[in-house]
Amino acid sequence: MRALSFISLALAASCGGAPAERPGTPPEHVLLVTVENLRADHTHLWQYPRPTTFIERSDDQRSLDLDLLMERGVLFHQAFSPSGATRPALATLFTGLPPRAHGLMTPDGALAEDVSTLAERLRDAGYQTAGFASPSRPIADSGLTRGFDVFVEDHAEIVYRDGVPVDGLLLRAFEFLRTDFDPERPQFLWLHVGSPAPPWDPQPVPTSAGERDFLRQYLPPEYEGPVQTNLGFLSKANRKEVELTVEDHDALIALYDADLERANFLLRQVLEIYKHHFESELEVWENTLVVTAGLSGCELGERGYFGSEESVHAQGLHVPLAFHHPPSLTGRRIFEDVVGLSDVLPTVCEWMEVEAPTDLEGRSLLARTDRGRSFKARPVISEHPDGGLSVRVEGWSLVLNRSAREREGAYDLPPQQLFQTASDPAELRDVSLSAPEALERILSELSSWEAKYPPIGP
């Protein structure tokens, strides 16, 4: 197993000063890869024992998998989503604003008309923009596709072309790359993968060497428990209508891990085509900034809850966030600063020299990666519309429940919990009574944030 051995390579703290000129050769294109329910500590790069995001090859070469994108770029090890639901998280990534400001708070909501998106800004700057998504739920009506010259939403993962099984997202992205992608013009390409969103049903994938069955390697063949691959079963489990044994719990984790590995396997095909389809002299891959982001994590029974949409804890919100463009950001580096998805838009805009709004919650993370620039710590807020809220600062996590009514289908959420994340990253031991100064400081930071972003509605 490859360990996260380079965790000690986090840079020394930045010092103050004016922004310096970007080092190296700037990128010309942007490739954004977003994955639903990509729980950070279940990726192989985080030393998770299963190869969920790492594809081993027999020729000692590296596959272009999620691990490679994170390992060979700059990884923000403490990145958190503003919501356990896909639409609000995507909206924050695309706008640089928290859900309270961009208006998309719920899993089925829509982005406010007067809020600009990353795709709109890049398109207005002369980029050709295209998005290809296989989301767990449709997003075409969410306003999140504004600014894309081409947007294709495909929910049939495996299709057949001339009798050969091909991933649906792969097929449509490949057709675009072959016929419409102009490497002589700046490009913004978005690839969105809906797996491993629940319910997890990792069907075998046909390959030239036969079917690839990801679940078989994790689920014991003798298992005959009640676990089912549908939302109805998960809803019953979350409402405590079925009693899960240790074996049942392990089976659900096996389903999640297998679905994540399957998603990584299919995504790799698209990335390989993007890298190798063009003539070598065009150097498209070398000229592309690749941004990899999980949109949420996934709770796997730590509090009796399976899923992410109700979560305000680390398991449901801690996500990978990585930037890969070695010609202008050299070295494999890991940063431990607490950051959020709202930081993606200002980072990309600065990198590509595209004007960004000045009233964003997010800030450019290049200020952290470049020496000689000021980068101040700030809290990352995550929120559920029913009253659950969490505040993360370096070393601490505060979870609040401001709702007076029961949240159906959710785990019990006390009014207030404080966790010291250095010693308790799973957020299981409440220390609010023993750390009053930390609690007061974090509540003060939350109060300042809410003064800038007041709640929407009653």
3-state secondary structure 191-206: EEECCCCCCCCCCCEE
Beta-bridge mates of residue 166: 159
| Residue 10 amino acid letter | A
How does residue 330 score in pLDDT terms, banded at 50, 70 and 90?
low
- Contact assessment for residue 127 and residue 182, using Cβ atoms and an 8 Å cutoff: no
166 has pLDDT over 70: no
Residue identified by tokens 């676990």 is 227
381-452 has the same fold as 5-9+26-375: no
pLDDT in the model for residue 406: 59
CA–CA–CA angle 115, 445, 403 (5° rounding): 75
Convert the pLDDT of each residue in 203-243 to its tens digit.
888 877 778 899 999 999 899 999 999 889 999 999 889 99
Tokens for 142?
A: 């969410």
| Cα distance between residue 438 and residue 415, in whole Å | 17
pLDDT in the model for residue 169: 76
pLDDT in the model for residue 72: 87
pLDDT in the model for residue 209: 75
Convert the pLDDT of each residue in 393-412 to its tens digit.
999 999 999 886 655 556 77
pLDDT in the model for residue 164: 56
pLDDT-wise least confident of 64-68, 107-111, 369-373? 369-373
| Cα distance between residue 220 and residue 20, in whole Å | 55
How does residue 2 score in pLDDT terms, banded at 50, 70 and 90?
very low
| 244-252 contacts at long range (C-beta below 8 A, 24 or more positions apart) | 244/301, 247/220, 247/223, 249/300, 249/301, 251/219, 251/223, 251/225, 251/227, 252/200, 252/227, 252/300, 252/301, 252/306
The full set of domain ranges for the chain reads 5-9+26-375, 381-452
| Cα distance between residue 29 and residue 127, in whole Å | 8
How would you class 191 by CB atoms within 10 Å of its CB: exposed for 0-12, middle for 13-18, buried for 19 or more? buried
- Contact assessment for residue 2 and residue 44, using Cβ atoms and an 8 Å cutoff: yes
Residue of 30, 96, 54, 56 lying closest to 357 (CA atoms): 96
pLDDT in the model for residue 10: 35
Convert the pLDDT of each residue in 21-32 to its tens digit.
677 889 999 999
Helix residue ranges per DSSP H, 130-213 = 168-179
Q: Residue 339 belongs to what H/E stretch?
A: strand 333-340
| Cα distance between residue 429 and residue 417, in whole Å | 8
pLDDT in the model for residue 132: 94
Class assignment of domain 381-452? alpha beta
pLDDT-wise least confident of 124-128, 228-232, 295-299? 228-232
Q: Could you say which architecture CATH assigns to the domain 5-9+26-375?
A: 3-Layer(aba) Sandwich (3.40)
Mean confidence (pLDDT) of the chain: 88
User: Rounded to a whole number, what is the distance in angstroms from the first to the last CA of the chain?
Assistant: 51
